[in-house]
Structure 1
């Protein structure tokens, strides 16, 4: 029997071969919080029958079923590949570095058609029995990454899904040894693309990637379930940098509205040879939107700059992930 609390919970993930078709979990990320739920749309008959004062329960019907929710987790040195692929859209095969046990995943921005996940979660009853809820056709609609002084690199993945199946057998979770990325490994650089230099004074940073999709594709002949969401707007990438006012670099960019490339990276321990555990977000062009520095008293001047990432016409937004994972 499992522990009869959240300590006995689990999440398992697998890439689907086709939208909404169950795949047994292959990766079990450690998570801190989740909110995945089945959402249903119902309709109640309003027909009048002589002498009846309440609507009949037998005349309420479910007209649509779908899934929504999020998973929050620390970004770990292994096991993030499937989520990053579902977010970014590119089909990725980890590339072995030399003859070492280090593998590089390069996730560049692309359409997410065909990139759906089966997500199975185990929810413990207080008795210790773990119930199964398997969510099919899960598409990542947004992901936010954040890290502040003294903290972990955290992430929140938002999902839209097709349906929930509670008839599957809960898989036995299997975890790989992994460590979370953290502030002590964090670097943030700006400047000319591929020649960025360290930006001093940074205390916190965040990046959010939003994948707009038509999630309302409910049609006849679909048994109340939706067709796979389709990209229906431009990708939105935004973020913020909180820093002490040690230089005018970002302030000047706000004034001029000029672009700069931003690289936000976390470099962990060596995996093998010269290859280290790495999580890196590359934004070839960002523009500072607001929040130039103001003096709010005698303390060190500190501000949070909000930015929007744009396409520089050549280089795509990318997430690089170096780990010991030979497969996603």
Structure 2
């Protein structure tokens, strides 16, 4: 029996072979909070009937189902590939580095067609019995990564799904040893694509990637369930760099509206040879939107630069993930 509180909860995920089809989870996330819920659309018949003062329960019908919610978790040194693939759209197939235990996943921005997850949530009753809620057809609609001075690299994932199945067997959770990336491993680099150099003075950083999807694909003959959402807008990439005012580099880019390549990376312990545990976001072109430096009393000037990630015409944004994982 599990503990009858959030201490006994679990989240398992697996990539779907076809949209909305249950497969037992094979990977389990260590998360800080989640808000996945089934949302339903109902209609109530309310025809006039002599003497009836209340609508009949039997004439309320369920017409559509939807799943929404988010998961917050730290970015760790293994087991993140499945989520990254669902966000970025490309396969990210691990490539062995030389003859070592290091494998590099390169998740380049692509369409997310066919990239959906089963997310199985185990919710404990106070008795310790853990109930199953299996969310099918879960598509990533956005993900935000953030890290501040002295903190962990954190992420927040937004999902939209097709349905909730409460009739499955709850998978037995297992948790391999995983270590989070953190501020002491962080570097922010700017410059020409492929030759970026470290930018000094960064205190805090976040990047958000949003995937616009047509979430209203409810058709006749689908029993009130949606077809797989498809891309229906340009990907939006945005973020903020909070710094001490150590140089005019970002300030000058704001003034000129020039672009620069941005690399935000975390380099962890060595795996083998020259290959280290790595989480890296590469944005080949960003533009600074606002927040030139301002003096606010005696303190060190601390500008916060918001930016937009754009296409440089050649190189696509990507997330690099180096770990010992041999599969996404």
TM-score per shorter chain, which class?
Answer: over 0.9
SS of aligned partner of 1:156: strand
Q: TM-score, normalised by structure 2?
A: 0.99
The Cα offsets for residues 189-216 of structure 1, whole Å up to 9 and x where unpaired, read as 0011111011110000000000000001
Aligned residues: 328
1:105 aligns with 2:115: no
User: Residue in 1 aligned with 2:183?
Assistant: 183
User: Residue in 1 aligned with 2:271?
Assistant: 271
1:161 aligns with 2:188: no
Cα distance in 2 between the residues matched to 1:221 and 1:244: 58
SS of aligned partner of 1:277: strand
SS of aligned partner of 1:52: coil
Higher mean C-alpha displacement, 92-101 vs 194-203: 92-101
User: Residue in 2 aligned with 1:70?
Assistant: 70
> Superposed, which structure 2 residues align to 1:115-264 within 5 Å?
115-264=115-264
User: Residue in 1 aligned with 2:47?
Assistant: 47
User: Residue in 1 aligned with 2:15?
Assistant: 15
Cα distance in 2 between the residues matched to 1:24 and 1:43: 33
User: Residue in 2 aligned with 1:289?
Assistant: 289
Cα distance in 2 between the residues matched to 1:320 and 1:91: 12
Give the alignment's Cα RMSD to 1 decimal: 0.6
Deviation at 1:93, TM superposition (A): 1.3
Structure 1 residues not aligned, in runs of 5+: none
CA contact (8 A) 2:92 2:108 kept: no
The Cα offsets for residues 145-175 of structure 1, whole Å up to 9 and x where unpaired, read as 0000010000011000000000000000111
The Cα offsets for residues 74-94 of structure 1, whole Å up to 9 and x where unpaired, read as 000011000000000001210
The Cα offsets for residues 32-60 of structure 1, whole Å up to 9 and x where unpaired, read as 10000111001111211111111111111
Structure 2 residues not aligned, in runs of 5+: none
Higher mean C-alpha displacement, 164-173 vs 46-55: 46-55
Deviation at 1:303, TM superposition (A): 1.5
